[in-house]
Amino acid sequence: MESRSPDSVPSLGRSRQLTIDALCEHFANDALPMEEFERRVEVAHRAGSVEELKELLRDLPGGNLPAVTADEGAIAPRPRAKVTAAAHTKEQGFVVAVLGGAARKGRWTPARRNFALTLMGGAELDFREALLPAGITDVQIVAIMGGVDIIVPPGVNVESHGIGIMGGFEDVSDSGAYDPNGPTVRVAGLALMGAVDIQVRRPGESARDARRRRRAERKRLRDSWE
């Protein structure tokens, strides 16, 4: 097996993450259809060189973002993509599920402060195609004998400050490095004999597929150091 220098793996790994972040921004700004976005993200995860990653951005608006320095072969920081003006048009939004279900998903515009109440019911807040601005989008949750599932795409910061009483408030988002200039979903609240689950998933990806992908990524990372 060909040996790989210890410095090369982190460099490629950071280049890969920045490229995926750029693809997410282009997708959010309608520069990529969903099928092409998913294909390019999959290729980015399999890419074995910085040149392969550069090819994924070359035909997109501002295709030199993120820029790759020729001398280091590493991707340099890039300016943020333009944030849609439609985001945060409302100050408050509500999702209520009492003895039933409710969902916000697809192409939707979250309010600045979003309240989710479930009473013996379930709610889903899927931010993968939502119009999220840079800055903080608050989600306040009260789950009583019910559940709330929160799904965010790669590249979105997640902050979680919940309390579980005879229930669970679980953040398995694993969203990567914090970007102070990027969009942030800040989740807080109470799960009383209920459950709140926060995960990062790609558009169209099921929870099972996301678990399989994370296991495969961890395995590839372990193998790269052997």
Q: β-strands 122-126, 168-172: how paired?
A: unpaired
pLDDT above 70 as % of the chain: 73
What interhelical angle do 8-28 and 34-46 show, nearest 10?
A: 180
pLDDT-derived band at 180 (thresholds 50, 70, 90) equals confident
Q: How does pLDDT run across 8-60, given as a tens digit for each residue?
A: 444 677 777 777 777 767 766 677 777 787 788 778 878 888 888 888 888 87
Measure the CA–CA gap between 39 and 27, rounded to whole angstroms: 12
Residues 6 or more apart whose Cβ sits within 8 Å of residue 183: 83, 132, 133, 134, 135, 137, 156, 157
Where along the chain do its domains lie?
8-82, 92-200
Residues 6 or more apart whose Cβ sits within 8 Å of residue 97: 117, 118, 119, 121, 122, 123, 146
Global model pTM greater than 0.75: no
Task: Tell me the H-state helices in 29-104.
Answer: 34-46, 50-55
